[in-house]
Amino acid sequence: AQTVTQSQPEMSVQEAETVTLSCTYDTSENNYYLFWYKQPPSRQMILVIRQEAYKQQNATENRFSVNFQKAAKSFSLKISDSQLGDTAMYFCAFRSYNTDKLIFGTGTRLQVFP
């Protein structure tokens, strides 16, 4: 069975600095998708970025980028130029190519300080 591990329950960063959130996963499959979701205090689940396992190039969305290491089964999220609005819970999620089910990590609570 696939598992997703986020080993940092909480992190903090100063505004305008860069922070990296860690995520590792376990799977025996070769084709799959990885996601980072943001959950602000409003509790809404917001897709931040996604990565297809067959793509070697790391995904980037504005200030958000990932470091995808397929062999190491690692999928970290880098937030550059952190903003107060980035304060949220961040979830890493895995989806097998053959299903629509998302498997989530336990989340990392990020606090951005002025």
Partner 1 sequence: EAQVTQNPRYLITVTGKKLTVTCSQNMNHEYMSWYRQDPGLGLRQIYYSMNVEVTDKGDVPEGYKVSRKEKRNFPLILESPSPNQTSLYFCASSSDRTSGSYEQYFGPGTRLTVT
Please give the residue ranges that form the binding site for partner 1 (CB under 8 A): 4, 33, 35, 42-45, 47, 50, 52, 91, 95, 97-102, 104-107
State which residue, 33 or 78, has the beta carbon closest to partner 1.
Answer: 33
Name the 3-class secondary structure at 43.
Answer: coil
CA 53/CA 42 separation, integer angstroms: 31
Residue 66 tokens read as 């990932």
CA 3/CA 94 separation, integer angstroms: 8
State which residue, 45 or 80, has the beta carbon closest to partner 1.
Answer: 45
Q: Taking the CB of residue 1, how many other CB atoms lie within 10 A of it?
A: 6
State which residue, 10 or 17, has the beta carbon closest to partner 1.
Answer: 10
